[in-house]
Structure 1
Amino acid sequence: MPDVTFYRDAALPFLEGKYCTADDLAYHRHFHEEYSVGLIDAGHTNAWCDGEQIQVEAGKMISFPPMMLHACHPEPDVEWRYKMLFVRPDWLHKLEPGELNRLHIPFLLGGGKNEACRKRFNHTVGMLAAGGTPLETETALIELVQALVAPNEDDLGHASSPGVQEHKYVKRIKDYLQANFTGQVTLEQLEQEAGISRFHLIRLFKKGSHLPPHAYQNLLRINHAKIQLAKQRPIVDIAAETGYYDQSHFTKAFSKIVGTTPRQYAMSI
């Protein structure tokens, strides 16, 4: 019997994740109304994509545009594990037309690009499954889509220095995050504040600050928490005040940045 789990976030209605483990599950010809991208974790499958047969092995990614007829027939008696992301077209339409067209074909990725996209895919699914903030999860999804549409893997990590106009947008985003770092900021809010698309926003902000917006927000939270810990305030109050959903989440985030727990930090002052 297959074990299938779905992941959703009410704040991200355009996105759904799926994780499946099975050894006897085949999908007959069907289509999705969403853009679908998947990763085979174990086993391999014979995929039928709009009349074309494609072999998809473990570690490989495959995608289907909305409404494309396809089917999957994994090898029998072999453990088959895979993950999927389903993205609604209305969200994808925020992409530039040329980028969207490159998504609208079924394809397999090879070499370094498959590896780069696989890492981003797993990060996006991980954020969605673990209950990451909407800002974290949507940022991960945007970075995945940008990797998918990049002409080759060499384009993923190299960018020129930002210009004057780009600095203006980065400053707007930083100012907004500094004023609202304790809240559940979304990319939609940052998009409205900066006046540019969220896809362009992520590119510019990472180029100008070397961090995605959610990581910058987290640093603002941690720095504020350090000041409050120095005042010997209760840790549980500081965790809530700085926007973490519980003390455990706060402690984990704090330790990654400071190298010690909030309690140890407070005791050393």
Structure 2
Amino acid sequence: MTSSSKPTKDRVTYLRHPFLDGLSVLTASAYHEDFPVHLHDEYSLTLVQSGRETTVTPQRELTALSGSISLTPPNVLHANPNRNGSSYGFTTLYLSPDVVHYLSPKATARLREDSVVLQEPHLFAALTAWAAGPHAPERELIALLEQLFRSSLNGNYPAQDSPSATEKSWLANVTEYVNQNLEDRVYLDDLATVAGMSRYHFLRSFRREKGVTPLQYVNLCRVERAKKSLMRGNSITGAAHEAGFYDQSHFHRFFLRFSGITPGQFLAGSNFVQDHH
């Protein structure tokens, strides 16, 4: 999504539910924008209700047509470009890793590093009906999600190249350093030192592994930190400062670009909706 985009409330809605560890639901219709490279702390389960959704990860590109379900694990950098400029409609459920592990430990072990597209018409219809509300009891949603993750284990997905132990070590060190220092300024030279590389070698290596520059990754992590802060009831200004954004317009622009909604819309939707059980 470009920084000039202005999603409206009637086109994009965000709600958080008081069950399944705060299940969040983002719904959009007649959506035209690109989502640039971003990440989530949760599993994102997208029901493509019209048009098509393209997902690009460091490993590959996937297309989910209307009636498909796209599933992306936590902390996987991915983009959703609008290849043909046509609008599409979708509903995305954001599920915490703990919830998915409870529903299907095998799925969390299998679905760790890349997105998948599932063709499950019955589950698609049932989950779409649930998202449209009024909502069925929580146990019915749990049963649907358990079926979905069981189905995800049956797919034949392309093999992925696993990073070596050395690569895992420096990447883990860098990401840990970033998450521990989001409130402060994070400099490229410091990240290169943590990785044990020259600035130039680190920049190339990080981009090869993650698909974004180190400082782009820092801003993505800051947006996720701000979301958590808003969910805890913090103000928009407080969440911005906690995540390391000291310019409100800068924070608003990044949040909108990587989330598809404004901080105000996210904050309003984070107030738990009433359970219809």
Give the TM-score, by structure 2 length.
Answer: 0.46
Q: Which has the bigger relative contact order, CA under 8 A and spacing at least 6? A: 2
Higher share of residues assigned helix:
1
Give the TM-score, by structure 1 length.
Answer: 0.48
